[in-house]
A and B are shown apart, each in its own frame.
Chain A
Amino acid sequence: MTNFNWWVDGSIILLYVVGAVTAGLYVRRYVKKVDDFLVAGRNVDLYLGIASLSATEFGIATCMANAELGYKYGFAGITPGIALALAMFVVGSTGFCIKPLRQQKVITIPELFQAKFGTKVRWASGVVIVLGGLLNMGVFLRQAGDFLVIVGGFDLRYLELIMTVILVGIAVYTILGGMLSVLVTDYIQFVVMSIGLLAVVGLIIWSFGWETLNETAYTELGAGAYNPLVNGDYGIDRILLDLLVAFAAVLTWQTMISRVLSAKDALTGQKIYRGTSPFFLVRFTIPAVLGIGALHFFGADLFAENGVLAMPNLLSQLVPVGLLGILIAAMLAADMSTNSSYMIAWSSVIYNDIMRPIHKGLWSDQKGILWNRVLIAVIGVFLLLYGLWYPLKGDLWVYMQVTGTIYLASMSVILIAACYWKQANNWGAIAAITTGCVMPISFLILQQAPATQDMAQQLGPYKLGVSTYACTAIAMVMGSMLKNKLKRT
């Protein structure tokens, strides 16, 4: 059962979608160069940067993943948000890595690596970034489809159709307007998303009562609902992984770093990070409260196996007509901004770094823009096929951490070395890329194969994640030192 009304809620959603897509298409006329297409001509100022970064980093998949954390771990599920906010604030305040990155006027992180480590490392970095990024993003579309089907009360048969319609809508303005369209639509999406999220979380707290939600969290989850250190399912290894992922993402996640690279100068880039840092608390707090609301409404058993679906089921039953339209528009806004930014982020790496040996930076702007458009379309097709095919096992947030680690571990280590370690060289970089890539991919394969599922479960994603970061750093140091030693002898 859902409260969705086609006339009232449908009209609100239609109004939003038409408005956002029209605005996205309108600004495409200002795209003349590859720089305009990929980094909006490096003209982004503080508030637009904050709106865009916030909207990008909050999608339906993120909301569902974080609501699942609230459903399973209570307020302790907000821990990764605290880690991310802290990391972004520290990096934004100190300019650690992002300042030299912006000052070099690069489009992507691998471009920075070329000067220090050579063309091969740049190319390999591009491959790893795209691999990790696309696997990470691959589940977004299905989550969005699941959310809309449940909240809107549509027939499950239409899931694939809804996924396709969402993707085509986003692809149209991203392909035509590039980063410029993404920024303008991100701004609209930030406003719509914020209004919807604040209204819905207010409704949940008002409907159930704050004390009741707290009582539920304590009764169902015990003291671990408030303190991740005493939560048997959370623990120190997971908190450590949260911190490592947070710092690595803030430094190297292409969709985040592209806002710094699009900023009008290094100082504005730092201010965007500082200003956006508290949003990462919002990104986890609002979904976690919705998750705890679902825990109160359904209990812990109903969605024990599929906690990710608890929050949308709650909203479908609790949110009234009218507000449901605003909520769906808000979540569509969140998802459109995320998908469009992610599509352009990975296409920029493919064009700028992986295809570099082909075009050597010599193609005309027109040809470059055309290729970027083709790449975005190809990424769209991949997302559709992967979203339909991949069966998600375990927590959605953990999947996103593990796939992200494929490149976060190596890229963060190499970036820090490139900026601050004079003895770092290409041997170390290649060793770091290989180590950082092989470990999480092996885990994903072990997790899927029936013969090794138990082993993967025993090892767990957190210990594996923390080990990956440690081994990658060691590989970077050992590889670099080995080459330096051989040089001397």
Chain B
Amino acid sequence: MIFWTVFVIMVLLWYAILTVVVGYRGGKDIRNMIRHLEQQHDEKQV
């Protein structure tokens, strides 16, 4: 029981941190991805 209690607490804690970190950095990744795709297409057109 102690194992599963610690396990569940760790998992939920890690998930909460992941949500904040990925929520912040994932948005940046989307902006970079779109900027990169725009650049690729502009280069092709030129």
> Is the CB–CB distance between B33 and A183 below 8 Å?
yes
A282 CA to B36 CA, complexed, in Å:
32
Distance (whole angstroms) from the CB of B13 to the closest CB of chain A: 10
Distance (whole angstroms) from the CB of B2 to the closest CB of chain A: 10
> Is the CB–CB distance between A282 and B11 below 8 Å?
yes
Q: Which residues of B (1-46) have their CB < 8 Å from a CB of A?
A: 1, 3-5, 7-8, 11-12, 14-16, 18-19, 21-23, 25-30, 32-34, 36-38, 40-41, 44
A210 within 8 A of B: yes
Q: Known contacts A30-B38, A194-B15, A214-B1; decide if A48 and B8 are in contact (CB<8 Å).
A: no
Residues of B within 8 A of A289 (CB): 8
A197 CA to B41 CA, complexed, in Å:
39
A279 CA to B19 CA, complexed, in Å:
11
> Is the CB–CB distance between A47 and B33 below 8 Å?
no
A89 within 8 A of B: no
Chain A residue with Cβ nearest B33? A43
Distance (whole angstroms) from the CB of A426 to the closest CB of chain B: 37
A187 CA to B22 CA, complexed, in Å:
9
Q: Known contacts A47-B21, A198-B15; decide if A190 and B26 are in contact (CB<8 Å).
A: yes
B contacts with A: majority SS: helix
A78 CA to B11 CA, complexed, in Å:
12
Distance (whole angstroms) from the CB of A135 to the closest CB of chain B: 30
Q: Known contacts A36-B37, A278-B11, A278-B14; decide if A44 and B29 are in contact (CB<8 Å).
A: yes
A108 within 8 A of B: no
> Is the CB–CB distance between B18 and A279 below 8 Å?
yes
Residues of B within 8 A of A59 (CB): none
> Is the CB–CB distance between B36 and A187 below 8 Å?
no
> Is the CB–CB distance between A51 and B22 below 8 Å?
yes
A27 within 8 A of B: yes
> Is the CB–CB distance between B11 and A187 below 8 Å?
no
Distance (whole angstroms) from the CB of B37 to the closest CB of chain A: 5
Of the listed residues B21, B25, B37, B44, the one surrounded by the most CB atoms of chain A closer than 10 A to its CB is B37
List the interface of chain B (C-beta within 8 A of A).
1, 3-5, 7-8, 11-12, 14-16, 18-19, 21-23, 25-30, 32-34, 36-38, 40-41, 44
8 A-B interface contacts by CB (under 8 A): A30-B41, A32-B44, A45-B32, A47-B28, A48-B29, A48-B33, A180-B37, A226-B1
List the interface of chain A (C-beta within 8 A of B).
27, 30, 32, 36, 40-41, 43-51, 54, 75, 78, 180, 183-184, 187, 190-191, 194-195, 197-198, 201, 210, 214, 218, 226, 278-279, 281-282, 285-286, 289
